[in-house]
Amino acid sequence: MGVSETGAERIAYRTCPLCEATCGLAITLKDEQVLQIRGDKDDVFSKGFICPKGTTLKALHEDPDRLRKPLIKRNGEHVEVSWQEAWQEVERGLMQVINTYGRDSVGTYVGNPNAHNLAPLLYNRTWMQALGTTKHFSASSVDQLPKQIASGYMFGSATSVAIPDLDRTDYVLMLGANPYVSNGSLCTAPDFPGRLEAMRARGGKLVVVDPQRTRSVEKSDEWLAIRPNGDAFLLAAIAHTIINNGRADVGDHLRLHTAGFDELPAALKAFSPEAVANVTGIEAQTIRRVAMELCDAPTALVYGRIGTTTVSFGTTASWLVDVINIITGNLDKVGGVMFTLPAAGGQTTRGKPGRGKGFRIGNRFSRVRGFPEAIGEFPAALMAEEILTEGPGQIKAMVTMAGNPVLSTPNGQQIERAFESLDFMISVDIYLNETTRHANVILPPPSHLERSHYDMIFTSFSVRNVANYSAPVLERKSGDPDEWQILAKLAGIAQGYGADIDPAVVDDHIFNSLLEKFLKDELSQIHGRDEREIREEIDSSGARGPERILDLLLRTGPYGDAYGANPKGINLQTLKNQPHGMDFGPLMPRIPEVLRTPSGKIELAPAEIVADLIRLENALDDFDVEEFLLVGRRHLRSNNSWMHNIETLVKGATRCTLQMHPDDAHQIGISDGEKARISSRVGTLDVFVEITKNIRPRVVSLPHGWGHNLVGTKMNIASAVSGVNTNVLTDEEQMDPLSGNAVLNGIPVKILAVATPL
Ligand SMILES: Nc1nc2c(c(=O)[nH]1)N[C@H]1C(S)=C(S)[C@@H](COP(=O)(O)OP(=O)(O)OC[C@H]3O[C@@H](n4cnc5c(=O)[nH]c(N)nc54)[C@H](O)[C@@H]3O)O[C@H]1N2
Ligand SMILES: Nc1nc2c(c(=O)[nH]1)N[C@H]1C(S)=C(S)[C@@H](COP(=O)(O)OP(=O)(O)OC[C@H]3O[C@@H](n4cnc5c(=O)[nH]c(N)nc54)[C@H](O)[C@@H]3O)O[C@H]1N2
Ligand code: SF4
Ligand SMILES: [Mo]
């Protein structure tokens, strides 16, 4: 069970749920108190690596501000109530809005921690469908959506993201990512820094493209200090150079599996290194050299993250990353970028291999701006206008699930106004914070240590094929629902079954439909098997809730035992017996089987993206070098907006500063530690300035996730450190038109010195 006894003390093993690195933790307990949290040196993947956040699961569990009981807002104040009362309020408020305005008047916002949490991964779909609305939003569209859209067009599925084969590569061109701080994203690799260092130690080279001299830059061989939003131009010029030098070659392994290769020269014609030098701020000869280095290295890969996706050319840049990986022969090749084969929940581990319906957006369009839906949701940048704009279909109620859009999505003040105007709002969350303070009902799940864990998302994006199940470390207080029970109950209430609906009924329904689907599916490992025999085996395990579903997914997955048909295969019990995880080895080639495009080929020149290149071309000379551009940054001791209530993570000097180059500070007439007034089209902030040479002139940087000084929250430590909300400055009208992702980097701003605060 992931637990070993040593006298009165015991050690429980658990995967850290805080970031994508999925480090194994060894948690020492005595009398159900956590004594210590260390890295699990026997973890098959992380081998003991841990960052300062991993140990704070104890503080998070013990945080007196973490909600233990549901809250209801009465006369403007949140008061603790029983679960029974909370559910009655949910039913009353939700059904009233649905009965008055219809189901499409309910909106949902699903935040980042959902991706790190088994219960929502298995139950979110159900309650979101049960609401019967089309108004879904999530943190995807302030993050990685452009990468998913580009991958969708190229490989046929929005979850087929090509992952850097970090441990075997000789060359990494990394754009807009700072894994020394973030520990990596869309590339699950515990001890990402150590893996990069190992690459350099074996003679490899790391080139980092970033307007800031980050920690990752400091540890690299070369820094290309790009102008914000310059990546699509830079990558286009690199691809252009490779093609024009006759070096473009997809490799024998992809020869029969690519389409659109011949369209690339014309599509990228305008983007010579000389043409992009000004807009990128990178010299033509440097671009040429890097292009040739990518071709000459035995193996090489391009990896782009937040700085390449949260910009107005996010989808184009994401596409070009893989175009270069493909035309240098490095896609689906050891040391290049490859596709993970996850043990459970992988979309391309089911269905017909090698061909599919392909990917498209625009199954419906948003009410106010007429913007297309993508992957079943609308851009978060559209959420406020959908709430604030009157008329049929207006959102009147919201459900937020582990999300803090007030601090994390553009134009935070507009989001605030929107939430304040709602008839009803439900938040499933562990804190009373900037977003949930607007909720009529807050439903708190148990702490991270009181629930089981399996990384169903990040095992699909990892640099090795691994699986690791963690049992709950501590027992839940009796009577408190588990997170899956909260979500299942929400689904039942939304479907009109009332506040007393037993979540187990919903759970049975989810499980039964999944099992029936697999039994009927000709391509499933259990197609046509005797249902009774399989059910008997399932019932004998006694599992319910997420465990039962996970077991089904594992057993019918690529490494599964298929309920006996594959005796060497795994099931949940196999994972329970291996508390340090299972390693199925390094990534293996998956082309063409992984593809789901209608052509059965990799689409190198998707029409939607090629058609938009004219916008890139028009932008070549359409910029003002004197303009200040705002970018973000992360800190090792922060986790987006929600871990600032942990004392050890926020102590010391304030980190929420506006970093600025000395030349710019001099020109504005501002000194280190003084306040600047920074304004954009939508907002203004006063913030302390930190002068540093580690940033490109005319670029300023402010971290996101701060601004905890709002009335009506209950996060005592966070409120004391406060900081400012950078998303007061980001603009809901600026989006990547191909994906709807918000532009959070490269925001045009004006900066003044201020003598007195706002
Ligand atoms: N300017 C700017 N803005 C950004 C970014 C940026 O780089 N710059 N980054 C963007 C990115 S990449 C992301 S992912 C988003 C994140 O955006 P969000 O997901 O909206 O915000 P988080 O800060 O992750 O807030 C998570 C919420 O979940 C709650 N929570 C934590 N754990 C649990 C749990 O186990 N269960 C439940 N029910 N609730 C829980 C927390 O209390 C908090 O309210 O921010 C984006 N915003
Ligand atoms: N400690 C910590 N770890 C985290 C998080 C956290 O908040 N704190 N958040 C987690 C989440 S949700 C995510 S999505 C990941 C993100 O992980 P990363 O993608 O590694 O994110 P950042 O550390 O923000 O690095 C983004 C970099 O892009 C640069 N940048 C900004 N604009 C541009 C541009 O136009 N071009 C280029 N080339 N670079 C640009 C910024 O200067 C910054 O250095 O981190 C995860 N891990
Ligand atoms: S790197 Fe990420 S997964 Fe590892 S301990 Fe830190 S927060 Fe947890
Ligand atoms: Mo993110």
pLDDT of residue 603: 98
CA distance 88 to 642: 28
- 3 Cβ closer than 6 Å to some ligand 2 atom: no
Q: Are residues 183 and 320 in the same domain?
A: yes
Which residue, judged by its Cα, is nearest atom 11 of ligand 1? Answer: 143
- Answer yes or no: do 298 and 181 share one domain: yes
Same structural domain, 51 and 200: no
- Structural domain includes residue 245: yes
Closest CA to ligand 2's atom 18? 177
Strands in 3-6's sheet, in edge-to-edge order, are 3-6, 9-15, 24-30, 33-39
Listed as ranges, residues in the chain with pLDDT below 70 are 1-7, 756-758
pLDDT in the model for residue 115 = 98
Kindly report the pTM of this predicted structure. 0.97
Q: Are strands 628-631 and 699-701 parallel, antiparallel or unpaired?
A: parallel
Q: Helix (H, G, I), strand (E, B), or coil: what is residue 274?
A: helix
Could you tell me if the CB of 571 is within 6 A of ligand 2? Answer: no
CATH number at residue 700: 2.40.40.20
Which of 578, 598, 615 is the endpoint of a domain? 615
Main-chain phi, psi angles of 477, to 5 degrees: -60, 135
Amino acid of residue 121: L
Residue 404 Cβ contacting ligand 2 at under 6 Å: no
- How many residues appear in the chain? 758
Structure tokens at 298: 């035995």
Nearest to 438 by CA among 490, 400, 410: 400
**Pairing between strand 628-631 and 747-753?**
antiparallel
- Residue 700's beta-bridge partner residues? 630
Q: With contact defined as beta carbons under 8 Å apart, do 72 and 441 qualify?
A: yes
Residue 444 located in a structural domain: no
Asked if residue 206 belongs to a domain, the reply is yes
Q: What is the DSSP string of 37-91?
A: EEE-TT-TTTTT---TTGGGHHHHHH-TTS--S-EEEETTEEEE--HHHHHHHHH
What CATH number did the domain enclosing 54 receive? 3.30.200.210
Same domain, 604 and 650: no
CA 324 to chain centre: 24
- Split into its structural domains, the chain has a count of 3
Give the closest residue to 63 by CA, choosing from 714, 655, 721, 724.
714
The number of beta carbons lying within 10 Å of the beta carbon of residue 441 is 26
Whichever domain contains 192, its CATH number is: 3.40.228.10
Q: At what angle do helices 273-280 and 231-244 cross, to 10 degrees?
A: 160
Q: Are residues 611 and 628 in the same domain?
A: no
Report the SS3 class of residue 690.
strand
- Asked if residue 555 is part of any domain, the answer here is no
Task: Tell me what pLDDT residue 423 has.
Answer: 98
CA 627 centroid distance within chain: 30
Contacts 24+ apart (CB under 8 A), 668-671: 668/751, 668/752, 668/753, 669/753, 670/753
Query: Quick check: is 546 in a domain?
Result: no
Per-residue model confidence (pLDDT) at position 648: 96
Whether residue 727 is contained in a domain is answered as: yes
Residue 313, helix vs strand vs coil: coil
> What region does 51 belong to: left with phi over 0, alpha with psi -120 to 50, or beta?
beta
Q: Which ligand is nearest to the CA of 705?
A: 1
440 lines ligand 2 (CB under 6 A): no
**Residues 608 and 629 reside in one and the same domain:** no
For residue 705, give the DSSP letter.
S
Ligand 3: centre distance to CA 101 (Å): 43
Please indicate, yes or no, whether residues 595 and 630 belong to a single structural domain of this protein: no
SS3 state of residue 711: coil
Are 707 and 407 in contact, with CB atoms under 8 Å apart?
A: yes
Q: Is residue 124 part of a domain?
A: no
315 and 211 within one domain: yes
Q: Give the residue whose CA is nearest to atom 37 of ligand 2.
A: 176
**30 DSSP β-pair partners:** 9, 33
Return the axis-axis angle of helices 83-101 and 483-494, rounded to nearest 10°: 40
CA-nearest residue for atom 23, ligand 2, is 178
The Cβ of residue 608 has, within 10 Å, a number of other Cβ atoms equal to 18
Whole-number Cα distances in Å, 180 to 185, 555, 636, 642: 11, 36, 8, 20
Q: Which ligand is nearest to the CA of 309?
A: 2
Query: Tell me, what's the pLDDT at 4?
Result: 53
Cis upstream peptide for 592 (omega within 30°): yes
Identity of the amino acid at 175: L
The helix-helix angle for 284-296 and 273-280 (nearest 10°) equals: 110
- The alpha helices in 521-650, defined as continuous H runs, are 531-541, 545-555, 572-576, 607-611, 613-618, 647-650
Asked whether residue 447 is assigned to any structural domain, the reply reads no
Do residue 628 and residue 607 come from a single domain? no
Helix (H, G, I), strand (E, B) or coil at 550: helix
51 plus 6 within the same structural domain = yes
Does residue 313 sit in the same domain as residue 239?
A: yes
43 close to ligand 1 (CB < 6 Angstrom): no
Q: Does one domain contain both 318 and 170?
A: yes
Ligand nearest to the CA of 432: 1
Shortest-distance Cα residue to atom 39 of ligand 2 = 176
Residue 254 has which token pair?
């992809």
pLDDT at residue 542 in the model = 86
| Residues 6+ positions from 570 with CB-CB distance below 8 Å | 343, 467, 554, 555, 559, 560, 561, 582
The whole domain housing 308 covers 165-333+590-615
For the chain, the first-to-last Cα distance in angstroms comes to: 55
Q: Which residues of 653-665 are buried (b: 16+ CB within 10 A; e: fewer)?
A: eebbbbbbbeebb
Classified as helix, coil or strand, 707 is coil
Q: What is the 3 state secondary structure string of 514-529? A: HHHHHHHCCCCCCCCC
Token reading at 194: 């150590």
